Chains A and B, each alone.
Chain A
Amino acid sequence: MTRAPLPLRLLPLCFATLLALAPLFARAGTAPDPNDPNSPLGPGDKIPCFDAAQVPASLSLQAGDPNDPNSVGFFSHLPDCATLCKKAGASCARFVKRAVACELRFADARASFKTRTDCEGLRGAALTFCVTDNKIEDAHIVQRDAASGKLADALGGCAKRADDCTGLCNAP
Chain B
Amino acid sequence: MRPELARRVLVLALVCASVLVPHDGAHAGMGSLYTDLVCPVIGDLPGEFDFATRFVGLVNCDRLCLDAGFVCRRAVDDAASCQLAFVNDWIASDSRIDCNGLTGSLLGDCKAGWAVDKKFWQASVKQSRFVGRFGCANLIGKCATSCSGH
Q: Which B residues lie within 8 Å of A55 (CB)?
A: 38
Assembly CA distance A90 to B30 (angstroms): 21
> In the complex, which residues of chain B have a beta carbon less than 8 angstroms from the beta carbon of A121?
59
Bits for A74-100, please: 1 = Cβ < 8 Å to B, else 0: 110110000010011001101100110
From the candidates B29, B71, B93, name the one contacting A41 in the complex (CB within 8 A). B71
The interface residues of chain B, by DSSP majority, are classed as loop
Binds A, one of B2-10, B78-86, B106-114, B120-128: B78-86
**A95 and B86 within 8 A (CB):** yes
CB contacts between A and B, total, < 8 Å = 116
Q: Interface size (A, Cβ < 8 Å)?
A: 43
Contact A95 B31 (CB under 8 A): no
Complex CA distance for A95 and B82, rounded to whole angstroms: 8
Which residues of chain B have C-beta atoms less than 8 A from A105's C-beta?
74
| Interchain CB contact under 8 A, B24 and A54 | yes
A128 to chain B, nearest CB (A): 20
Q: Determine whether the beta carbon of B29 is less than 8 Å from that of A58.
A: no
Interface: B49 (CB within 8 A)? yes
Q: Are B54 and A58 in contact (CB under 8 A)?
A: no
Instruction: Choose one: B35, B67, B85; the contact of A94 (CB below 8 Å).
Output: B85
Instruction: Please provide the chain B residues from 100 to 143 with a CB less than 8 Å away from any CB of chain A in the complex.
Output: 100
Contacts of B74 in A (CB 8 A): 105
List A residues at the B interface (Cβ < 8 Å): 40-43, 46-50, 54-55, 58-67, 74-75, 77-78, 84, 87-88, 91-92, 94-95, 98-99, 102, 105-106, 109, 113, 116-117, 120-121
Between A and B, 18 residue pairs with Cβ closer than 8 Å are A41-B68, A42-B50, A66-B28, A66-B29, A74-B32, A74-B33, A75-B97, A78-B100, A91-B33, A91-B93, A94-B85, A95-B82, A95-B85, A98-B78, A113-B68, A117-B58, A120-B58, A120-B60
